[in-house]
């Protein structure tokens, strides 16, 4: 399927969307942050500190990052791909199970690059009861793939890139997903907010988790096309 193949290439580059903000970049988390010489751990409630300005978005003051961050209690290594890192996060077991059920493992292990907005287990728990179980059924594989690819953008887009887009386009700031529909971007308080096609809002809680095939931005709600 052409869209899925394109998704594989996109996701690897996109994954860098969160990681493009390199060690020289800064991220000010709203939650707790622990840093040493080799890694930065940002709490699940963390977010980027944003000073609003023209068109509703201004500069982002980011805490110094290294190549390795802690997500779901595990180190995320920039020399490993999206799947290799995601399987070790205890906060993303539902997402990993969904990726496997949708047959997207090989795609997300591909070269990309991709930017991935990765919902946590708690994000999936916010969905109506039974939704996840229904999506994981073999007969709903196409629908599950549609939902998952809606969380992936071709290319590598860092947190700084997202903020620059918001500053430039204001209320019109959007990213087109591999699924084909757009995600809208905005800033609310100290967080980058991603709004889906149904009007649901998700906050970026951990930005710039670099992968070898892109970048991951952890989000607190599932995005629905």
Confidence of residue 144 (pLDDT cuts 50, 70, 90): very high
Specify if 48 maps to a domain: yes
In this predicted structure, the answer to whether residue 32 has a pLDDT above a threshold of 90 is: no
User: 109: Cβ–Cβ under 8 A, 6 or more apart, which residues?
Assistant: 81, 82, 83, 84, 213
| Range of weakest confidence among 33-37, 91-95, 125-129, 209-213 | 33-37
Q: What is the token pair recorded at 158?
A: 């860092």
Mean pLDDT of the region 147-176: 96
Using alpha carbons, select from 70, 20, 82, 25 the residue that is nearest to residue 44: 70
pLDDT above 90: residue 108: yes
pLDDT at residue 185 is higher than 60: yes
d(CA 88, CA 85): 6
Cβ neighbours of residue 46 under 8 Å, at least 6 residues apart? 27, 29, 30, 31, 32, 33, 205, 206
pLDDT at 12 over 70: no
Is the pLDDT at 4 greater than 50, yes or no? no
**CB-based burial, 80-104: b 16+ in 10 Å, e otherwise:** bbbbbbbbbbebbebbbebbebbeb
The residue range of the domain holding 132 is 2-219
Residue 44 included in any domain? yes
- Per-residue confidence (pLDDT) for residue 190, from 0 to 100: 81
- pLDDT at residue 25 is higher than 60: no
The answer to whether residue 224 sits within a structural domain is no
Number of domains in the chain: 1
Task: Share the mean pLDDT of the chain.
Answer: 79
Mean pLDDT computed over 163-170: 96
How far is it, in rounded angstroms, from Cα 11 to Cα 214?
6
Q: Is residue 156 part of a domain?
A: yes
pLDDT of the residue at 113? 96
Q: Which of the four pLDDT bands, split at 50, 70 and 90, describes residue 67? A: low
Average pLDDT over residues 33-60: 35
Asked if residue 98 is part of any domain, the answer here is: yes
Packing angle between helix 141-149 and helix 2-19, nearest 10 degrees? Answer: 40
* Average pLDDT of the residues in 7-30: 38
Could you tell me if 83 and 105 are in contact, meaning their C-beta atoms sit under 8 angstroms apart? yes
Residue 195: CATH number of its domain: 2.30.180.10
Q: Which two tokens stand for residue 114?
A: 């991709």
Kindly state whether residue 225 falls inside one of the protein's structural domains.
Answer: no
More confident residue, 127 or 33: 127
Contact 85, 70 (CB under 8 A): no
């Amino acid at each position: 399927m052409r869209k899925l193949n394109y998704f594989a290439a996109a996701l690897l580059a996109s994954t860098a969307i969160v990681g493009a903000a390199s060690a020289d970049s800064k991220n000010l988390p709203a939650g707790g942050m622990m840093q040493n010489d080799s890694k930065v751990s940002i709490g699940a409630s963390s977010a980027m500190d944003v000073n609003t300005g023209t068109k509703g978005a201004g500069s982002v003051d980011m805490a110094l990052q290294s190549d390795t961050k802690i997500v779901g209690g595990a180190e995320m290594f920039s020399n490993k791909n999206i799947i290799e890192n995601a399987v070790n996060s205890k906060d993303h077991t539902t997402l990993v199970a969904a990726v496997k059920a949708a047959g997207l493992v090989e795609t997300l292990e591909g070269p990309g690059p991709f930017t991935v907005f990765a919902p946590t287990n708690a994000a999936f728990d916010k969905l109506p009861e039974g939704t996840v179980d229904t999506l994981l059924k073999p007969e709903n594989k196409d629908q599950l793939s549609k939902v998952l690819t809606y969380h992936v953008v071709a290319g590598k887009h860092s947190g700084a890139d997202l903020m620059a887009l918001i500053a430039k386009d204001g209320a019109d700031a959007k990213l087109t997903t591999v699924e084909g529909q757009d995600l809208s971007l905005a800033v609310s308080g100290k967080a980058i907010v991603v709004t889906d096609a149904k009007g649901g809002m998700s906050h970026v809680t951990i930005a710039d988790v670099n992968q070898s095939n892109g970048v991951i931005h952890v989000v607190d709600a599932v995005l629905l096309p």
